[in-house]
């Protein structure tokens, strides 16, 4: 590969850019800032919302270097130079209701995401977890009262106008729903993903971690979001390096000029990558950027 062909680097966040402790290692941060200073665009591609990415964007100086963000697995793209946002339609109201009915019938733990926040369906068999939910709600109320950013699991940030609530009935759903999530806290995730695919063939089931699968509109994924930026960028995947670790990264890894799996990536991701670098806890991104001569 000729390094002059590369005009952008795309990084997933959790399990890729961020360590297992949800931090960016200094070597990786410095490498990505140097990369941008050399004129190569940086694109973040995540299942998170834009608000959840703000601190990371600032830390990497992406606004100064005219970077981009692909959020919510490709539902939203953002030109960070001018805050221009492009949004794609989420799942339909009828599809959201079908998913809720399915979760309720088979007693699955699920999440529905909308502009107003997150609605959670907790089946009876998991009601033992309710004290955790009450702790989260109490912490959010405290944060809202103090006018400080509410964070969960270290760095998942929520804006004050986003709600988190448990719902028991289908008529409690807030529309429009952008995407849904299936959560499994025990073994058997692969089997459940297959079942979801069989029951919702008009949607895409994308596994984003060992315990979570996003339920997305058909054809919407990170690769779709990046492709939608090609006119602005003036180039496409043929001039990109992509880093990822989970199944929701596979399409963009396969599409890239060079798709690189992290050392900690799921096996399916490694099988579809052109190369495998060190893990997210070992500055895997910085290591690969040096290997291919994009930074010193």
Task: Say which CATH number the domain at 202 has.
Answer: 3.30.1240.10
**193 falls within a domain:** yes
* Range among 118-127, 139-148, 187-196 rated most confident: 187-196
Same domain, 115 and 195: yes
**145 falls within a domain:** yes
Same domain, 193 and 152: yes
Domain-terminating residue out of 201, 217, 233: 217
Same domain, 55 and 73: yes
Band of pLDDT at residue 137, cut at 50, 70 and 90: confident
Band of pLDDT at residue 127, cut at 50, 70 and 90: confident
Q: What is the rounded distance in angstroms from the CA atom of residue 86 to the CA atom of residue 145?
A: 32
Same domain, 33 and 124: no
**296 falls within a domain:** no
The number of domains in the chain is: 2
Same domain, 163 and 21: no
pTM: 0.91
Lowest mean pLDDT among 74-88, 144-158, 165-179: 144-158
**12 falls within a domain:** yes
Same domain, 165 and 152: yes
CATH of the domain at 32: 3.40.50.1000
Domain-terminating residue out of 183, 217, 251: 217
Instruction: Domain of residue 166: give its range.
Output: 93-217
- Residue 161 pLDDT exceeds 80: no
Same domain, 83 and 224: yes
**7 falls within a domain:** yes
Same domain, 97 and 212: yes
Same domain, 140 and 237: no
- Residue 288 pLDDT exceeds 90: yes
**64 falls within a domain:** yes
Q: What is the rounded distance in angstroms from the CA atom of residue 125 to the CA atom of residue 13?
A: 32
Q: What is the rounded distance in angstroms from the CA atom of residue 3 to the CA atom of residue 90?
A: 37
Q: What is the pLDDT of residue 124?
A: 82
Same domain, 211 and 225: no
**105 falls within a domain:** yes
**275 falls within a domain:** yes
- Residue 189 pLDDT exceeds 80: yes
Same domain, 164 and 80: no
What's the average model confidence in pLDDT over 106-123?
A: 92
- Residue 153 pLDDT exceeds 60: no
Same domain, 245 and 170: no
Band of pLDDT at residue 217, cut at 50, 70 and 90: very high
Torsion of CA 163, 165, 170, 176, to 10 degrees: 20
Band of pLDDT at residue 95, cut at 50, 70 and 90: very high
Cβ count near 163 (within 10 Å): 14
User: In b/e form, how buried is each residue of 265-285, taking b as 16+ CB within 10 angstroms?
Assistant: bbeebbebbeebbbbbbbbbb
- Which of 119, 220, 206, 210 is CA-nearest to residue 168? 119
Domain-terminating residue out of 163, 195, 217: 217
């Amino acid at each position: 590969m000729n390094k002059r062909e590369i005009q952008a680097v795309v990084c997933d966040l959790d399990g890729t850019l961020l360590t297992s402790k949800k931090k960016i290692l200094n070597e990786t941060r410095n490498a990505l800032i140097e990369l941008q200073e050399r004129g190569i665009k940086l694109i973040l591609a995540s299942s998170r919302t834009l608000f959840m990415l703000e601190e990371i964007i600032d830390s990497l100086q992406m606004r100064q270097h005219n970077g981009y963000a692909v959020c919510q697995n490709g539902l939203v793209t953002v030109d960070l130079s001018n805050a221009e946002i492009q949004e794609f339609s989420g799942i339909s109201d009828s599809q959201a209701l079908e998913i809720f009915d399915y979760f309720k019938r088979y007693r699955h733990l699920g999440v529905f995401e909308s502009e107003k926040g997150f609605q959670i369906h907790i089946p009876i068999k998991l009601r033992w977890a309710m004290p955790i939910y009450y702790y989260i709600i109490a912490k959010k109320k405290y944060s809202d009262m103090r006018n400080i950013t509410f964070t969960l699991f270290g760095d998942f940030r929520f804006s004050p106008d986003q709600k988190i609530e448990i719902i028991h009935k289908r008529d409690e759903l807030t529309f429009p729903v952008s995407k849904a999530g299936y959560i499994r806290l025990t073994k058997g995730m692969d089997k459940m993903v297959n079942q979801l695919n069989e029951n919702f063939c008009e949607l895409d089931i994308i596994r984003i971690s060992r315990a979570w699968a996003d339920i997305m509109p058909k054809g919407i994924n990170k690769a779709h979001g990046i492709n939608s930026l090609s006119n602005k960028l003036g180039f496409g995947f043929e001039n990109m390096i992509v880093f990822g670790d989970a199944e929701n990264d596979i399409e963009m890894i396969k599409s890239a000029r060079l798709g690189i799996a992290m050392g900690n990536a799921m096996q399916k991701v490694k099988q579809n990558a052109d190369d495998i670098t060190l893990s997210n806890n070992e500055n895997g991104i910085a290591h690969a950027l040096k290997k291919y001569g994009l930074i010193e």
